[in-house]
A and B are shown apart, each in its own frame.
Chain A
Amino acid sequence: MIRRKTITKHSTTYPIDSIRNEFPILGTTVHGRPLVYLDNAATTQKPEAVLKVQETYYREQNANIHRGVHHLSEVATFEYEKARGKVRNFINAGDTKEVLFTAGTTAGINLVASSFGRTFLQAGDEVLISAMEHHSNIVPWQLICEERGAVLRVIPMDDNGELLMDEFERMLSPRTKFVSVVQISNSLGTVNPVRRIITAAHAVGAKVLVDGAQAVAHTKVDVRAMECDFYAFSGHKLFGPTGIGILYGRQELLDAMKPYQGGGDMIRSVTFERTTFNDLPYKFEAGTPNIVGGIGLGAAIDFVNTVGLDAIGAYEQELLQYGTALLSRIPGLRIIGTAAQKAGVISFVLEHAHPHDIGTILDREGIAIRTGHHCTQPVMQRFGIPATARASISLYNRTADFDALAAGLQKVQEIFG
């Protein structure tokens, strides 16, 4: 039997009810049960404000940007660039030239791997990634290392899912040209010491990309205080639309890097003999972008700022502790990822039930979690498991969501004994 606390205490000042009211989908039912959404590391739900700006854009503002002289084009350009300004403030970039719109974190990392790699990587150079990277921060580096004759090395981690920092510092050498690490692990929840990683990497002259996909909705990001060279994240994990993301890059590096994709908007002049390229950020933004996505992301950032990331972070830590304690009491349940510094991700395995079966049974209870390898197959291999079930939290979750999860897991155990 699962023992459960019945009384839960939230920070009294955190406006959970009014926050939930902003998300229409949270009021829906799944298989006749109220939706319990605990798959936020995969994607977050969208608040009214984000839904509204997208509809307004298509109803009243739709035009192509940066090229028309007509009214709508000016409005669309203004709104899109205003969103870029919001992102700049949100991550404290020095200049909007350093804020590139991309299709998402994956696109941002591919841009850096390809463009930085083709400009700076030489045979024998080393690129370091960590053992807990998402496939999107592994494969682009494998591809470019193969192309350039560079060597990809992996920073190991321990059984709790913490990087072995001493080992990392020993791996650094003048051959190290690039370090690409995740700030918060999507499958383990580990919060990595990125500031320390960056300082150590810079000491040997290496540049650093931080994958912030799982971080931006949960903790304040200041790219200048962090001193990263690149920072990538996705809009859809930050309550914005899918298909839009951000790559921050330091201006002198972006200026020096070769373009990634060629096309409209990224050029200054084109002849058949020679093309000159546009200024930043447009040099890296070929083609008509996801305009409505950018505007939606801007609205999502406004929403997050209204709640405040300090309040969000503190509230989610309470939820994480509550959920961890509750799940830990379930017999046969093992949490994968027990780092001292964790964000709101609880990955687990049950003794007799495979994660996919857990996922199906919970789904019939209206509970959405993620099951599988979470695009981190090397993490699964490291822990000797094929898959995990993962509950991941966001600013609108409640302790009641974990109560529902625990009750659902009891049902799983009744079926699988």
Chain B
Amino acid sequence: MSELNELYQQVILEHNKTPRNFRKLELFTHDADGYNPLCGDHYHVWLKLDGDTIADIGFQGNGCAISKSSASMMTSSVKGRTVAEAKELFEQFHSVIMTKIGDPVSEERIEALGSLGALAGVREFPARIKCASLAWHALNAALTNNQSTISTESAKD
């Protein structure tokens, strides 16, 4: 499989075309913007925490196939998980896509990522790694925001 085919796998193209959870949450506890000023990719992520569990998550915005599919797969992957589990998943995902070209990444590590493993090919494209991690950084920022009450205010952007 060529590097391009590995980057643009069917599952990625499919998530790009019909992103999951591509909606604003009316009731949310946390939210944050993910913006890459250099390329203009821009997403907003909304979260509803129930105790320590991510009960619901949605995103909206604009960007390339890699950033949009990554955001879509992220929302599917973390929904129903605890905050700690979501952060752990991000750590694993981040360490895979940040692995230097040429350094081996074991099948187990990719499989442990579930559907997110489809994005492992992005590490062959250093300029695009930031696309794959953009929504995750927004999620991280949202979780750090520490809003204690559910907000129905519109997003800050």
**A residues at B contact (CB < 8 Å):** 353-357, 360-361, 364, 371-373, 377, 380, 386-387, 415-417
- Are A416 and B38 in contact (CB-based, < 8 A)? no
Chain B interfacial residues counted at CB < 8 A: 20
Q: How far is the CB of A350 from chain B (nearest CB, A)?
A: 12
A353-B65, A386-B40, A415-B4 given; name 14 further pairs at CB < 8 Å: A354-B63, A354-B68, A355-B64, A356-B66, A356-B128, A356-B131, A360-B125, A372-B38, A372-B40, A373-B40, A377-B40, A387-B39, A415-B13, A416-B13
A/B pair count, beta carbons within 8 Å: 48
- Are B65 and A354 in contact (CB-based, < 8 A)? yes
Q: How far is the CB of B63 from chain A (nearest CB, A)?
A: 7
- Are B40 and A380 in contact (CB-based, < 8 A)? yes
**B residues at A contact (CB < 8 Å):** 3-4, 7-8, 13, 38-42, 62-66, 68, 125, 127-128, 131
For B2, the closest partner residue in chain A by CB is A364
Q: How far is the CB of A384 from chain B (nearest CB, A)?
A: 11
Q: How far is the CB of A318 from chain B (nearest CB, A)?
A: 32
Contact partner, B40, options A360, A387, A415, A417, Cβ 8 Å:
A387
Residue numbers in B under 8 Å from A387 (CB-CB): 39-40
Instruction: Compute how far the CA of A41 lies from the CA of B64 in the bound complex, rounded to whole angstroms.
Output: 22
Residue numbers in B under 8 Å from A416 (CB-CB): 8, 13, 65
Q: How far is the CB of A405 from chain B (nearest CB, A)?
A: 17
Q: How far is the CB of B8 from chain A (nearest CB, A)?
A: 5
- Are A372 and B39 in contact (CB-based, < 8 A)? yes
- Are B63 and A386 in contact (CB-based, < 8 A)? yes
Residue numbers in A under 8 Å from B125 (CB-CB): 360
For B68, the closest partner residue in chain A by CB is A354
15 A-B residue pairs with Cβ-Cβ distance under 8 Å, sorted by A, are A354-B65, A354-B68, A356-B128, A357-B8, A357-B66, A360-B7, A360-B127, A360-B128, A361-B4, A371-B39, A380-B40, A386-B41, A415-B4, A415-B13, A416-B65
Instruction: Compute how far the CA of A117 lies from the CA of B4 in the bound complex, rounded to whole angstroms.
Output: 51
Residue numbers in B under 8 Å from A372 (CB-CB): 38-40
Residue numbers in A under 8 Å from B62 (CB-CB): 386
- Are A415 and B128 in contact (CB-based, < 8 A)? no
Instruction: Compute how far the CA of A353 lies from the CA of B38 in the bound complex, rounded to whole angstroms.
Output: 19
For A375, the closest partner residue in chain B by CB is B38
For A356, the closest partner residue in chain B by CB is B64
Q: How far is the CB of B70 from chain A (nearest CB, A)?
A: 13
Residue numbers in A under 8 Å from B68 (CB-CB): 354
Contact partner, B3, options A364, A380, A415, Cβ 8 Å:
A364
Residue numbers in B under 8 Å from A355 (CB-CB): 64
Q: How far is the CB of B61 from chain A (nearest CB, A)?
A: 9
